[in-house]
Amino acid sequence: MARSSPRTLAVPDAPGSAVPRALGRRLLIKLFVSLRPNQWTKNLLVFAALIFAVRLFDVTAVVRSVEAFAIFCALSSAVYLLNDVVDRRIDRQHPLKSQRPIAAGEISVRMALGTAAVFACLALGGAFLMAWQFGAIAAGYLALMALYSGPLKHVVILDVLAIAIGFVLRAAAGAAALHVAISHWLLACTILLALFISLAKRRHELVLLAEGATSHRPILGEYTPYLLDQMIAVVAASTLIAYIFYTVSPETIQKFGTTWLDLTIPFPLYGIFRYLYLVHRREGGGSPADLLLNDRPLLICVSLWVAAVVLIVYRPF
């Protein structure tokens, strides 16, 4: 009787086996998630200078804007890693943030900080190679966001102001990358809109966490839904007024050679009202980037606004 040959059993932890490779891939995926690529849409603000400087069809300017966008994506990811490390203990008490890889213990603190350092160094090096002004703004952004991850997020009002200034630095960086001046009106609109979104996010956290809000983020104890509603109302109105003045100002009309930019006013009107509706009626606002990408009417509104601005600015009537 022929003797059957013994089967070779695969050893799961043997060198070169599929298991370590699978674990490595899983770790890389978790690390990529921690970079928060869904939040990179915030860095699209660097393209504002490209559009409003009438350089949209300048290939060199487009390439530089794309490079600036990539650099700020790397910088913001470094900040997110640092922020998740600092907040990992209190994030475990949050119904949504507890699922983040660092808070869940799936990514070590050492790996997160090491990755953040690499991203920050590479991004800053690339920024200063582009232009020293752009590099200075990028360094200022990184310093401000690092301070926000530390003491600033615990100081009432300064916490939301820091986030808003971060958006302004993105817009200013886009202009510095192209060596063009950016309108003071647009900077005012940017900081006001960013304040509006930041305050709405604070309101969402306060309502979502209810009595556990202060244990997750102590600064929330300094706010109330009523106070935030009052601040949101003031900032929303100021944003709309600033944008309206920008579209009809003689400086804007002379720059673009058209008086038709005021036709775009209905888009920010609808966008802000839609955002308020989502915050108050749909309990949205926790993640502005997710809200923009997942709410079709809001996404269509922003897309139509961009299309209308490009059509009017580049084909003036």
**Which pLDDT tens digit goes with each residue over 138-180?**
999 999 999 998 888 888 999 999 999 999 999 999 999 999 9
pTM, two decimal places: 0.84
Q: How far apart are CA 310 and CA 304, in angstroms?
A: 10
- 66-89 pLDDT, tens per residue? 999 999 999 999 999 998 898 888
Residues 176 and 48 in one domain: yes
- 243-299 pLDDT, tens per residue? 999 999 998 999 888 899 999 999 999 999 999 898 887 666 557 777 777 889 999
Residues 142 and 194 in one domain: no
Domain range holding 305? 183-317
Structure letter (DSSP) for residue 14: S
Tell me if 27 is assigned to some domain. no
Residues 304 and 216 in one domain: yes
Task: Please list, in sequence order, all residues whose beta carbon lies within 8 angstroms of the beta carbon of residue 245, skipping any fewer than 6 positions away.
Answer: 185
Tell me if 268 is assigned to some domain. yes
CB atoms within 10 A of CB 209: 17
Residues 168 and 251 in one domain: no
User: Mean pLDDT, to the nearest integer, of 200-215?
Assistant: 72
Q: How far apart are CA 270 and CA 265, in angstroms?
A: 9
Tell me if 317 is assigned to some domain. yes
- Give the per-residue pLDDT at 286: 59
Q: How far is CA 99 from the centre of its chain?
A: 19
Whether 14 has a pLDDT exceeding 70, the answer reads no
Tell me if 28 is assigned to some domain. no
Residues 142 and 96 in one domain: yes
Q: Are 278 and 284 in contact (CB under 8 A)?
A: yes
Residues 149 and 225 in one domain: no
Total number of domains in the chain: 2
Of 129, 150, 182, which marks where a domain is finished?
Answer: 182
Amino acid code (one letter) for 110: R
Residues 305 and 199 in one domain: yes
Q: Are 232 and 199 in contact (CB under 8 A)?
A: yes
CATH code of the domain in which 54 resides:
1.10.357.140
Residues 62 and 170 in one domain: yes
Tell me if 144 is assigned to some domain. yes
Query: Which whole-number Å values give the CA distances from 233 to 162, 192, 195, 227, 302, in the listed order?
Result: 19, 11, 11, 10, 21
Residues 246 and 173 in one domain: no
Residues 177 and 198 in one domain: no
CB atoms within 10 A of CB 143: 10
Tell me if 163 is assigned to some domain. yes
